[in-house]
Amino acid sequence: MVKQLQTGLLLMTGVAGYMSARCPFMPASTLIGLVGSLFLAITGSTILNMWYDRDIDAKMNRTCRRPLPSGQIAAWKALLIGSAFAFSGVLWALMMNRLFGLIVFAGLFFDVVIYTIWLKRRSSWSIVWGGLAGGMPVLAGRVLGIGAVDWVGLVLMLAILFWIPTHMLTYSMRYYDDYQVAGIPTFASTRGFQFSRRFIALSSIFAACAIAAAAVGIGMTGSYLHLLGVLSVILLVLAIGCMLHPSEKLNFSLFKYASVYMVNAMVLLVAQAM
């Protein structure tokens, strides 16, 4: 029930946020606490989302084989495990630093309550709140490093917020029929594929700009800055191509590259700090 790739990327952003402020000094206890609390909170929210969405997951070919809709795990067990993970993660974070813990809790709240329970089945704009939840780990890491919310942390959070539509909207188009059967409103169903592809492209451009601003904010220089520039130019070229000539092929290329871009951007932030 753990989405390994998604969880791994969010953990990487949390570590990158912290190390952008504190590296090269990172006590082992802090690193364990950072990764451990975020892992529990992220995993807990994922399980709780699967518990709540088990009815619509059962209707979709893409998700019907997940543990809950397929009957591999009882719903009450998933609720218990998800709640325990989420509570433990937030409590651990609060014990480390109150503001860090509040931001971890905010990510959990936005993801489970606002995005999944309240808006996912009502509005295609629910992705905004899903994006905010995805941006909380990097902001939390930065806050743990400096003890306060600063503009760099907020910009890093926005970078993830703008990256999220590339992932979510691409899946909503690729599995359009599934979402229709489940009754989930998406940009593809409410505004069309062309609008969705242009929205993805515009979001990717904003994500690249946000990463660039954060890189300047932490003082990235030399080969790291040059490499980030090259990676950003490729992302911008793909995004502009999708804006001018939206197509399924270009959109999927942008979707795949955007994930590679974000991972490498986080690695470069860490490498610069070291």
Domain hosting 184: range is: 4-273
Structural domain count, the chain: 1
For residue 211, name the pLDDT band (cuts at 50, 70, 90).
very high
- C-alpha to C-alpha distance for 101 and 41, rounded to whole angstroms: 10
The runs of H, that is alpha helices, within 53-118 are 54-57, 75-96, 98-109
Positive or negative: CA dihedral 21, 27, 33, 38: positive
Tell me: the pLDDT tens digits for 235-271? 999 999 988 888 888 888 998 899 899 999 999 988 8
The answer to whether the CB of 166 falls within 8 A of the CB of 258 is yes
DSSP 72: S
Q: What is the CATH number of the domain that holds 44?
A: 1.10.357.140
List CB contacts of 213: < 8 A, sequence separation 6 or more: 155
Q: What does pTM read for this prediction?
A: 0.93
The answer to whether the CB of 138 falls within 8 A of the CB of 160 is yes
Tell me: the pLDDT tens digits for 110-119? 999 999 999 9
